[in-house]
């Protein structure tokens, strides 16, 4: 089983024949997808929905019950005789370890298969300390949290990890991450699996933040952007309901798009005028320090804004305009229905948002903005945890993986 790609070999569907054997189990994963909405159903209701014979449905339900993924959910009303039993998805059947690695922090959480956070812990940890130091703490903390949640490593369905840099999703390896010395090409999956031998999926942190925010708060929107404004600036792009990673996993790297106002501003990437060099937390802090204020990092900007400092508020609003300059082009190109602003600077609320909205609604095409909503993150610092959990469950609960699991244990 590939630990990162999410693609599993499955049996090709054929005609519905015998209700037992491997052929039956190989299609139980498809039936399971009907139950993932959490609504309880009887065997008869499932047979009516799928068009399968009741005996076939019964055999597949039995296989899913044996796996623990489906459980009894009471009885339906009866017009006579014994009431039929109902069955529903059991999200407590397995656990997920969800990890958000930031520039200076790590959040580790245990969730169930429904994305419900059972327990979590935030650690102070510099990503520049290197992969073995950071991932060693992740594994150690993960085992402790599993125990705290009353679960064991054998209950783990998988592990999802978000990293603050470009990631080749197919392998889980970071690719030339600018703030992660020692991480380039490091085999994150293999390192973690030495201690916890389960599927491990790794992605850029903004991608999983987009997954988490959309799943929890905007599930009806299939064209969705999540913009992280913090130490760096990036976007998670969901188009037609699918996360877009691009050819090499760098889709959404807005931080190094040129902003006309910054022609003389040098970015850490070596180019001039990058959005990150003007509108990130450290960039806004540098501007305020140039004006004589005590500011070294994004947290200082938030403190000054909370104190009502006019210079900080104006600088943050200008950062919003710079972000809006880039987003106006993105809106015309991708036509999202929702843009969510998150990251540490997003915590400053409407000051940053005012600048973003001012430029996006002025510069984008009227048709592209006629139904566009620009909102602050509602998931906050849990967006990445929710997304890491969702990334794992999308993989382990997919029809092919469910079928392969049932065949292996059947």
Q: What is the pLDDT of residue 7?
A: 38
Confidence of residue 23 (pLDDT cuts 50, 70, 90): very low
* Average pLDDT over every residue of 268-280: 93
- Predicted TM-score of the model (pTM): 0.86
Same fold, 94-198 and 210-378: yes
pLDDT digits (tens, 9 = 90+) for 202-229: 999 999 999 999 999 999 999 999 999 9
CATH number of 210-378: 3.30.420.40
Cα 300 from chain centre = 28
Q: What is the pLDDT of residue 31?
A: 86
Confidence of residue 30 (pLDDT cuts 50, 70, 90): confident
pLDDT digits (tens, 9 = 90+) for 163-211: 998 999 889 999 988 889 999 999 999 999 999 999 999 999 999 999 9
List the one residue out of 383, 308, 295, 382 whose CA is nearest residue 349: 308
pLDDT digits (tens, 9 = 90+) for 317-351: 999 999 999 999 999 999 999 999 999 888 777 89
Q: Whole-angstrom Cα distance, residue 55 to residue 43?
A: 9
Q: What is the pLDDT of residue 410?
A: 63
Question: Where do the structural domains in the chain lie, given as residue ranges?
Answer: 1-92, 94-198, 210-378
Which stretch of 77-81, 98-102, 387-391, 394-398 has the lowest confidence by average pLDDT?
77-81
**Is the pLDDT confidence value at 263 over 90?**
no
* Average pLDDT over every residue of 253-277: 91
Give the domain 94-198 fold: Nucleotidyltransferase; domain 5 (3.30.420)
Q: What is the 3-state secondary structure (H, E, C) of the chain?
A: CCCCCCCCCCCCCCCCCCCCHHHHHCCHHHHHHHHCCCCCEEHHHHHHHHCCCHHHHHHHHHHHHHHCCEEEEEECCCCCCCCCEEEEECHHHCEEEEEEECCCEEEEEEEECCCCEEEEEEEECCHHHCHHHHHHHHHHHHHHHHHHCCCCHHHEEEEEEEECCCEECCCCEECCCCCCCCCCCCCHHHHHHCCCCCCEEEEEHHHHHHHHHHHHHCCCCCCEEEEEECCCEEEEEEECCEEECCCCCCCCCHHHCECHHHCCCECCCCCECEHHHHHCHHHHHHHHHHCCCCCCCHHHHHHHHHCCCHHHHHHHHHHHHHHHHHHHHHHHHHCCCEEEEECHHHHHCHHHHHHHHHHHHHHCCHHHHCCCEEEECCCHHHHHHHHHHHHHHHHHCCHHHHHHHHHHHC
Q: What is the pLDDT of residue 301?
A: 95
Confidence of residue 38 (pLDDT cuts 50, 70, 90): confident
> Which of 3.90.79.10, 1.10.10.10, 1.10.3720.10, 3.10.180.10 would CATH assign to domain 1-92?
1.10.10.10
**Is the pLDDT confidence value at 1 over 80?**
no
């Amino acid at each position: 089983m590939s630990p990162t790609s999410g693609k599993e070999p499955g049996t090709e569907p054929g005609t519905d024949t015998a209700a037992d054997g491997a052929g039956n189990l190989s299609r139980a994963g498809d039936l399971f997808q009907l139950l993932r909405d959490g609504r309880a159903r009887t065997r008869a209701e499932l047979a009516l929905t799928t068009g399968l014979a009741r005996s076939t449905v019964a055999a597949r339900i039995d296989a899913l019950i044996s796996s623990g993924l489906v459980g009894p959910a009471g009885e339906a009303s009866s017009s006579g005789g014994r009431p039929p039993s109902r069955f529903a998805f059991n999200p407590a059947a397995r656990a997920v370890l969800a990890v958000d690695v930031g520039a200076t922090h790590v959040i580790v959480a245990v969730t169930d298969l429904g994305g419900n956070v059972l327990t979590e812990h935030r650690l102070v940890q510099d990503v520049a300390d290197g992969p073995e130091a950071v991932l060693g703490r992740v594994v150690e903390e993960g085992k402790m949290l599993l125990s705290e949640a009353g679960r064991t490593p054998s209950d783990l369905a998988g592990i999802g990890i978000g990293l603050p840099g470009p990631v080749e999703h197919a392998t889980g390896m970071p690719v030339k991450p600018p703030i992660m010395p020692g991480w380039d090409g490091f085999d994150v999956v293999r390192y973690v699996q030495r201690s916890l031998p389960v599927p491990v999926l790794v992605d850029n942190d903004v991608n999983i933040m987009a997954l988490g925010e959309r799943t929890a708060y905007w599930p009806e929107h299939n064209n969705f952007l999540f913009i992280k404004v913090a130490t760096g600036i990036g976007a998670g792009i969901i188009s037609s309901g699918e996360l877009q990673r691009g050819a090499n996993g760098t889709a959404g790297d807005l931080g190094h798009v040129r902003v006309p106002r910054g022609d003389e501003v040098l970015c850490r990437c070596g180019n001039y005028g990058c959005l990150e060099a003007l509108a990130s937390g450290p960039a806004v802090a540098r501007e305020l320090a140039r004006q004589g204020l005590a500011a070294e990092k994004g947290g200082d900007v938030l403190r000054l804004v909370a104190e009502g400092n006019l210079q900080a508020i104006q600088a943050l609003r200008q950062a919003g305009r710079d972000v809006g300059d880039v987003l106006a082009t993105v809106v015309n190109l991708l036509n999202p229905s929702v843009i969510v602003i998150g990251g540490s600077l997003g915590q400053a609320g409407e000051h940053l948002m005012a600048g973003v909205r001012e430029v996006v609604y002025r510069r984008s095409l009227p048709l592209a903005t006629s139904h566009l909503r620009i909102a602050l993150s509602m998931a906050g610092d849990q967006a990445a945890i929710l997304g890491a959990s969702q990334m794992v469950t999308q993989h382990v609960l997919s029809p092919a993986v469910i079928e392969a699991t049932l065949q292996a244990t059947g």
